[in-house]
Structure 1
Amino acid sequence: MGKIYLDEQSLEQIVTLIEKQCGSQCEVVLHDLSKDYGETIIDIRNGHITGRKIGDCGSDFGLRVMRRDEADNDRFNYITHTRVGLILKSSSIYLRDEEGQVRYSICVNQNITETLRMEYYLRDFNNYTLSEEFKDDNHDNEILVNNVQDLLQELIAKGKQNIGKECNEMSKEDKLRLLDYLDQSGAFLITKSSDKVSKELGISKNTLYNYLEIVRSESNYTLNLMNKSR
């Protein structure tokens, strides 16, 4: 069977299908990843859930896909928390063009906050707790924001949290670990991200580029550092 490539009109039909089927508590987002990452959203339904609109940016997951572009980029049924405390069950698929490049993505974010509250109520009412095998505490929370500057700031904050230090407390190796994390997360695909990151780390842009050469020249740089410290 030959490959079928969908145009934007066909993709918008799919977005409409999901919206009509899943209702007002399901956000459906269509991204054009060939555009500047600060404005990839070309269609969005029920954007009130995350506060996003057409012309806003993609998430950190999309950046990673563009940075790494693995054979299977799709993700299903992962949990995301919004800035205002909503809990979302999310799935994302990435679609390629005729040249095999990732071009579009469709992301579905189902607001399950109220159904979870009902679940907690019923669990308390039933006096029953799920066994550990059904719990999913090990998830990587997706960052959903309106613009790429907020996205970059969130990535920096997550990197600092992983290292456990503020930038002004970091050694050179700490800064290399942070840059490795940001690079693997696709942060440097964001326009003028090097200005923000170098200022945050208190280093010059030349030093930043030198550090990036170091982390890119060693595979699994963070793992290597961890092994050296043992």
Structure 2
Amino acid sequence: MIKAAEQAFKTEFTPRDRELLQSYFHLAESMADLIGPHCEVVIHSLESFEQSVVKIVNGHHTGRKVGSPITDLGLKMLRQYEQTGELTPKSYFSNNKGGEMLKSSTCILQGEKGRPIGMFCVNMNLSYPFPEIIKTLMPDTTQHHSFDMTENFSASAGDVVEQALNHAIAEVEADDSVNLKGRNKAITKVLFDNGIFELKEATNIVSNHLSITKHAVYKYIREFKS
């Protein structure tokens, strides 16, 4: 079955195709870290169906490793893609060899000219005790990490700048080592270190809020860069 399917999809990979496929490796690591150890993330290459697994994280859930072949369901999804062009079929449930239930999602990865070159697969092992799954999604208070990190989810760049500016002001005003004369520069430094001035509206918003000129803001930024 693999040989027949491979003939149907067989195309010569270009260096760019391999580069694009490898660019997803870090995403696989990141997703597995986000969801937790009960989640397996796999990247298949369609260059060789017999050795299609080119990246796998937490492979113990299915007993696979780099160099393992594509699955029968993977072949079926490729056939469906050929017929429908659907890149992201709905999630599905299956069982591994040990009988453990998996909830999975697979996405077809495209290379040059829109040709399918791989598959990005996520398999969550639902047979883990639910409290263990929840525990991996919550912060570990025994490590004494700080959980006051903020992220500004806004619909406009201006809102992102405004919220970042408010956080920077609060941070500087809580620092007794910063005097009144150095306040504006210190606030600008916090924003600079956090990359806020990559947003085009930042300079205007900061200068208006701090009641200083844009030239003063640019002067601070030049000093920080040097």
* TM-score (norm. length: structure 1): 0.45
Larger radius of gyration: 2
More RCO (CA 8 Å, sep 6+): 1
